[in-house]
Structure 1
Amino acid sequence: MQTAGGSVFLALLMSVAFGAAEAIRTLKEGPMIDAEGREYKSAPLRTDPWTADSAVRVRCTDASMIVVVKADLYHNGRLVSPGELFLGQSERSGSRRCRAAAASGAGEYVIEADLQDCGAKLSISEDSVIYSNVLTFSPAVGRHGITRTTHAAVPVSCHYKRTHVVSSSAQQQQQPLTVSTKDSAGSSAFSLRLMADDWTSELFSNSFYLGDVLHLEASYAGPGRRRLYIDSCVATLTPDAASVPRYYFIGNNGCLTDAKEEASKALFRPRLRAEVLQLQLDTFLFQKHSRNSIFITCQLKATPEVWMSSSMNKACNYIQSRWRNVDGDDAACRCCDSSCHTRPPTRIALCGTVTLGPLMISPRK
């Protein structure tokens, strides 16, 4: 009798696992890349591959994993309760969002959690970003200390393609980062890109660990001899520079404020060419936010090369408790600890906005 019962349970568990695998398989293509090179926009939620017998279904958005579970988990008429279902391997390690709640569909429960919540694991391959987790069924113990179902764990995951970039030319190139540009000249004269550690070549990887140093190069490639400045830079969790949380690491028309943080390695490098400005920046994550996708948006400005440095046009490092200008006139940096006088840029100065990301920052293993 016990052998027969065990066989029935094994068959039911295989059915659940197969249903989950089918749900995961529909996500392998991940979020779609649109004509403008944007990623982390979810693919349309398709339900046709999910059969009526699928006990577990998975949907993925740009920020969360949604797991839908049928109350008749084992297809035997015995309904499980939402309190017996949670996302993750440990019932104690998750928040309330990791637990199941009643869904809009009859006889279904749903769990929606951030991609990295509930003990999820992140893995990055050459062409995919994968968030993996486990849907756990932990049956409640009856009043007589007995249970008629056994513990079950069903793997679930979300697969995302690595990001693409659309070049400023007519041809499209496949690269790991999204770069968008808006400028007053109406062309893609400004750019921001990641560089290798030796600064000799562009870096085509967006995966980093805390403790790494980012090497960023901003440049102007438009007509005329001009000098490039970075007025401001902000880091956000999404491509929207106005989203919250956000962290300004350059402000006040060219003050590298992150350099004032303890043990910071933030630094503008000496100029090699007037139209190029390079800087290094320590990696970081936002506290109390599980997402590790960082976007960097910078306001760039190109002035006639003959213009002298001023409080409006400068690149200021903080070295040995003093502000120092890359271009030599340290007096231009005196306002970095207060408020530099701002005025609308003249027509002679060209301005642009560039966004780089996502940069995937992971804790050290």
Structure 2
Amino acid sequence: MSSFLILVFFSLVVFLVAQAEITVECGKNSMSVRWIETNSQVDPSLLRLGSCPPTRVNVNPQVSEAVFYAEFGSCDIRRMVTINELVFESEITYTTFSKTAPLFYPVACKYERPEDWTPPLYGPLLFHIHGQGDLSFRLTLMKDDFSALATTTTFPLGSTIPIAASFDQMTHQPLILLLDECVASTTPELGPDSHIYPLITNKGCLVDSKKTNSRFMPRNQLSEIRLSLQAFKFAIGEDVYLHCRLVAWDPSDLSGSNKACQYDRKSSRWVLTDDPSQSSLCSCCDTDCKGRKKREKTADYYTSTSVLGPLVVEN
């Protein structure tokens, strides 16, 4: 990891969950977690820190113990960046096919974020990042003029929320980045009962532009797309997360299912952001834009699902 952790105060956190004692030791670029429970019915070898098994277990008639060591970036440890903190979080879980209730113990390491620190790869407030081949996707909150990273995550109702999505082109042939779907939710993970507010649906249609001033911004490069959202009434005063599906696509193959469309309320029609002369590709936005043909991933088709947040919209 980079030198940003120079300002970190190493910590040792001990807490009790039910009858288990969890000890979390936060290092420069890793966490060590120790789980101990007396008279336990749990097989400690079946515990998991994120996606990783224990590095050491100890079982005797009185005490069960599991020790985990994981570097940040491994074991599906998640990273969240806020204005003041860098947070690396995961959970200890235990699930079996027996009638025993599953266990879920959250663990986290928190670090002070230097005021002038910006990540070399990840965008701020990025909850998930995904790479395929030579591509690394980013979803980033920006200042109003898109000149730098945002310095706030709180927005007055009706103000602008500037968002930039991008990927590193690297050695690939030129690809164009599209925002396939985007919804706002009050939870960092979507589930069947999630309360959502749709922003982009139907394979790239900015549906929020039909009733607000939300819009795509002119491109500076194919590998980036900028979105200016108008701060919405959804979940006023609560933490809100934006869940977006990003697609890197062959720019010569735009279609009804690969596009960036927004609604022009002056002309009452959908417009293709990248080439208004091809706005007929957006004609399906009010009906049903057919999905892509099923095919294997190739050099001209990559996807990522990223989550940005938490943000807060205030009255």
User: The TM-score by the shorter chain falls in which range?
Assistant: 0.5 to 0.7
Cα deviation for residue 325 of structure 1 reads: 0.2
- CA–CA separation in structure 1 for the residues paired with 2:236 and 2:217: 32
- Asked if structure 1 preserves the Cα contact closer than 8 Å seen for 2:200 and 2:206, the reply is yes
Deviations 1:281-304 (A, max 9, x none): 111243xx6761010011011113
The 5 A counterparts of 1:128-167 are none
1:260 partner letter: K
Same amino acid, percent of matched pairs: 30
Unpaired segments ≥5 residues, structure 1: 1-42, 48-124, 129-160
**Which of residues 225, 235, 247 is equivalent to 1:277?**
225
- 1:50 match: none
Q: Single out whichever of 196-205 and 245-254 deviates more from structure 2.
A: 196-205
Q: Does 1:253 align with 2:199?
A: no
SS of the equivalent of 1:189 reads strand
SS of the equivalent of 1:248 reads strand
- 1:352 match: 304
- CA–CA separation in structure 2 for the residues paired with 1:240 and 1:356: 11
Greater C-alpha radius of gyration? 1
- Relative to structure 1, the CA distance from residue 182 to residue 216 in structure 2 (aligned partners, 3 Å threshold; closer, same or farther) is same
Deviations 1:317-342 (A, max 9, x none): 10021000012110110100000010
- 2:185 match: 236
- 1:301 match: 247
Cα deviation for residue 251 of structure 1 reads: 0.7
1:358 partner letter: P
Q: Single out whichever of 186-195 and 224-233 deviates more from structure 2.
A: 186-195
The 5 A counterparts of 1:1-365 are 44=15, 127=84, 177-183=125-131, 185=132, 189-223=136-170, 224=172, 225-242=174-191, 243-261=193-211, 264-286=212-234, 292-305=238-251, 307-319=252-264, 320=266, 321-328=268-275, 329-343=278-292, 344=294, 346-348=296-298, 349-363=301-315
1:231 partner letter: D
- Asked if structure 1 preserves the Cα contact closer than 8 Å seen for 2:83 and 2:151, the reply is no
Cα deviation for residue 163 of structure 1 reads: 9.6
Deviations 1:131-177 (A, max 9, x none): xxxxxxxxxxxxxxxxxxxxxxxxxxxxxx899799575xx99x5x2
- Relative to structure 1, the CA distance from residue 333 to residue 211 in structure 2 (aligned partners, 3 Å threshold; closer, same or farther) is same
- CA–CA separation in structure 1 for the residues paired with 2:112 and 2:289: 37
1:359 partner letter: L
- With structure 2 as the length reference, what TM-score do the two structures score? 0.57
SS of the equivalent of 1:181 reads coil
Deviations 1:96-148 (A, max 9, x none): xxxxxxxxxxxxxxxxxxxxxxxxxxxxx9749xxxxxxxxxxxxxxxxxxxx
- CA–CA separation in structure 2 for the residues paired with 1:362 and 1:296: 16
Determine which structure has the larger strand proportion and give its number.
2
Cα deviation for residue 204 of structure 1 reads: 3.1
SS of the equivalent of 1:337 reads coil
Cα deviation for residue 239 of structure 1 reads: 0.7
- CA–CA separation in structure 2 for the residues paired with 1:230 and 1:335: 16
Which consecutive segments of 4 or more residues in structure 1 shift more than 3 A? 43-47, 125-128, 161-169
- CA–CA separation in structure 1 for the residues paired with 2:179 and 2:221: 14
Cα deviation for residue 270 of structure 1 reads: 1.5
2:179 partner letter: I
Cα deviation for residue 308 of structure 1 reads: 3.3
- Relative to structure 1, the CA distance from residue 337 to residue 126 in structure 2 (aligned partners, 3 Å threshold; closer, same or farther) is closer
1:208 partner letter: F
- CA–CA separation in structure 2 for the residues paired with 1:357 and 1:44: 27
Cα deviation for residue 178 of structure 1 reads: 3.7
Cα deviation for residue 238 of structure 1 reads: 1.0
Determine which structure has the larger helix proportion and give its number.
1
- CA–CA separation in structure 1 for the residues paired with 2:244 and 2:206: 12
SS of the equivalent of 1:342 reads coil
